[in-house]
DNA sequence: CGCAGATTTGAATGCAATCAACACTGGTGG
DNA sequence: CCACCAGTGTTGATTGCATTCAAATCTGCG
C-alpha cells in the first residue's frame, strides 16, 4: 500500500509524485522510473502567491512538494470561495490537464515548494504508460470526491459540522503523507481563510472554533491543531473517511 | 464544433457516447467504432429509482441516454444533498471508474433510459485508445468543474443567485445535446429537489422562483423553463459558461 | 515602537429555516 | 363518477443561525 522504500535516487519532486501515487495504488519500478524522467521545474514561493490564475489557459500542472496550496474563485462583488486546500505530497493541479480554461486560481497559503510539469510531457507519459494514467486519473477522481464533500458541507451541514468535518479531513489527509504525531496535525489557515473555505463569516468561524475547544474536542496552538477527542470530533460531523479512498484510513 | 454526421449504424447507447465525446473534442472514426463495440446493458427506469447506491462497490458506469439523473448523498439525520444533475447525452458516472467506494447514490429524477458499461470493458478500451482515454478523462474533469461551481454557489451566492446560476447552467448544458427552442429548456426537478440541490429550504426556493418570475426573467410552465430575459438572468448570478469548456474542445 | 494582520468580543440585523395551512394536480380504487 | 390520497406548489407567521458592523486585544515583525 503506501510509501516507499528507496527513492533515494529521485529528487524531491518526483519522489513526491511516486509516494503519492503509491499511496493510492501500486506503482511498478518501471513506472516510477518513468515518472522520475519527467522534467519538473521546481520553485519556492512565499505565502499567498498566485501560481496559476483564474481565466488563464493552463499549460502546466503544479505539484506540491512541501507546504500548503489552495484553489479559490473570486466573485465579481469581491467575495471569494476557497474550493479546496492541498497538503504536501498531493498533486492538486491535475484538474486542468485536459481543460483549456482556468475557472479558479491556484495559490500558496504558506511558504511552499512546488514543481511545475508541462502538460505536454505529462500527456506523453500518460499515453505511454496506462498504469500511470490510471493512477493519475484516480487522483483527480479522489479530488472530485473531496469536492463532493464540500458540497455536502456547504449545502446541508451547520457551521459546527462543517468545521468539524474539515478538521477531520485535514487530519486524515496529512497522516497519509507525513507521519505526524498521532493526535495533531498542521492547520495553516487563518480564520479568514477558513471562512472563505467553509462558506461562513470570519466571526462565526471564530465562535465555532471556540465552541469545539470549549467542549474539549480540540486545541489550537498557533498553526497546530491538537485533537483531544478524535471520536467526539468525528461524531460532530458524522465524518467517514471512506470517500478519501485510502486503503488504510487512520 | 459539436456532433455528428452518420452514426446511423450505432445504437442509441453508443450514439450517445459518441455525440457527447464529439462535443468536447475530436473523435476519430476508429475511436467511434471502438466505442460502438462496447457491451452496453440498456435499461429503462421510472422516476426516483436508485441505480447505484451509496456505500456500494461500483463495477459498472452508467451512461444517460434519455431523461435526467442526479447524484445525491444522504446524511445521517435524514437530510440530503443533491450533488449534481445530468441531462440526456451526458456520462454522469465516470466518476467511479477508478474508485472503489460509492460516496453517493446515482438515481433517476424522471423516467429515463440508461446504459450500463462494465468498468472492465471501459478500462480495456481506455488502455487501447489513448484519445478515447483523454476525452473520457476530460469529461470527468468538466464534471469536477461543475462541482466547483456548486461549491461557489453554496458557499458564497445568495438564494436568488444560486437559482439563477442553476437555471443558466441547465439551459446551456441542454443546448449542447438537444437542439431545443432558443429560449426554453426542460426543468424536470420539483421544488423539493431544487432545494436539496441548492442547499435551501423548499419554501425559500418557491419564493425565490416567484421573485425571478415577478421580475420577468423566466416563466415556469409545468416542467418547462421559459427564459424571457437571458441577459438579465445571467446578470442575476454573474453566470459565465466558460467553466463548461464548450467552445474549445481539446 | 509602530504597524499590519490575526483573533476575539459585543450588539444589531437579516436571510433563510421552520412551522403550519391551504390549494391544486393527477392517479387509484370503490 | 366521485372520493380519496399523495405529491406538488403556494402563502403566512415565527424563529434562529449566521452575517454584518464595530471595536478591542494580541501577535509577529521591520
B25, B138 contact by CB (below 8 A): yes
**CA→C1' distance for B199 and D3 (Å):** 38
Residues in chain B: 250
CA distance A153 to chain B (A): 9
Partner residue facing B103 (CB), from A76, A127, A148: A148
B144, A144 contact by CB (below 8 A): yes
Rounded-to-integer distance, Cα B22 and Cα B28, Å: 9
Whole-number pLDDT of residue A19: 87
Query: Do B144 and A144 lie within an 8 Å CB cutoff?
Result: yes
Give the cell for residue A47: 505565502
Interface of A with B in 3-42 (CB under 8 A): none
Contacts of A198 in chain B (CB under 8 A): 155
Rounded-to-integer distance, Cα A173 and Cα A155, Å: 22
Partner residue facing A238 (CB), from B76, B100, B238: B76
Is B138 within 8 Å of chain A by CB? yes
In strand C, the nucleotides that come within 7 Å of a protein beta carbon are 5-11, 15-20
DSSP labels for A33-85? HHHHTS--EEEEE-TT-EEE-TT----EEEEEEESEEEEEEE-TTS-EEEEEE
Nearest CA in chain A to B144: A144
In a structure prediction context, what are the per-residue pLDDT tens digits for chain B, which is 250 residues long? 344 444 444 578 888 888 889 888 899 999 999 999 999 999 999 999 999 999 999 999 999 999 999 999 999 888 999 999 999 888 888 999 999 999 999 999 999 999 999 999 999 999 999 999 999 999 999 999 999 999 999 999 999 999 999 999 999 999 877 667 789 999 999 999 999 999 999 999 999 999 999 999 999 987 899 999 999 999 999 999 999 998 655 5
CA angle A58, A60, A65 (to 5 degrees): 130
**Mean per-residue pLDDT, A179-203:** 92
Of B residues 201-220, those with CB within 7 angstroms of nucleic strand D are: 202-203, 206-207, 209-210
Rounded-to-integer distance, Cα B214 and Cα A80, Å: 29
Q: Is the CB of A222 under 7 A from strand D?
A: yes
Rounded-to-integer distance, Cα B118 and Cα B58, Å: 9
Helix, strand, coil percent content, chain A, rounded in steps of 5: 45, 20, 35
Q: What is the pLDDT of residues A103-139, one digit of tens each?
A: 999 999 999 999 999 999 999 999 999 999 999 999 9
Cβ contacts from A onto B, under 8 A:
133
Contacts of A101 in chain B (CB under 8 A): 242-243, 245, 248
Rounded-to-integer distance, Cα A210 and Cα A208, Å: 5
Partner residue facing B243 (CB), from A103, A138, A144: A103
Amino acid at each position: 500500500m503506501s510509501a516507499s522504500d528507496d527513492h533515494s535516487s529521485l529528487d524531491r519532486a518526483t519522489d513526491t509524485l511516486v509516494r503519492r501515487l503509491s499511496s493510492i495504488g501500486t506503482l511498478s519500478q518501471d513506472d516510477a522510473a518513468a515518472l522520475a524522467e519527467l522534467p519538473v521545474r521546481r520553485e519556492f514561493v512565499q505565502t499567498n502567491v498566485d501560481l496559476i490564475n483564474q481565466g488563464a489557459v493552463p499549460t502546466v500542472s503544479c505539484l506540491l512538494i512541501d507546504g500548503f496550496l489552495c484553489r479559490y474563485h473570486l466573485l465579481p462583488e469581491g467575495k471569494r470561495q476557497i474550493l479546496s486546500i492541498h497538503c504536501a505530497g498531493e498533486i492538486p493541479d491535475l484538474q486542468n490537464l485536459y481543460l483549456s480554461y482556468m475557472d479558479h486560481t491556484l495559490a500558496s497559503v504558506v511558504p511552499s515548494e512546488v514543481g511545475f510539469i508541462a502538460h505536454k510531457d505529462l500527456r506523453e507519459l500518460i499515453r505511454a504508460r496506462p498504469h500511470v494514467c490510471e493512477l493519475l486519473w484516480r487522483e483527480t477522481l479522489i479530488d472530485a470526491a473531496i469536492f463532493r464533500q464540500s458540497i455536502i458541507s456547504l449545502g446541508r451541514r451547520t457551521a459546527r459540522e462543517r468545521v468539524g468535518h474539515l478538521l477531520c479531513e485535514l487530519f486524515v489527509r496529512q497522516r497519509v503523507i507525513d507521519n505526524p504525531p498521532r493526535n495533531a496535525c498542521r492547520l495553516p489557515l487563518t480564520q479568514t481563510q477558513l471562512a472563505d473555505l467553509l462558506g461562513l463569516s470570519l466571526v462565526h468561524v471564530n465562535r465555532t472554533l471556540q465552541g469545539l475547544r470549549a467542549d474539549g474536542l480540540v486545541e489550537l496552538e498557533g498553526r497546530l491543531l491538537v485533537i483531544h477527542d478524535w471520536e467526539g470530533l468525528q461524531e460532530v460531523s458524522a465524518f467517514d473517511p471512506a470517500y478519501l479512498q485510502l486503503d488504510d484510513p487512520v
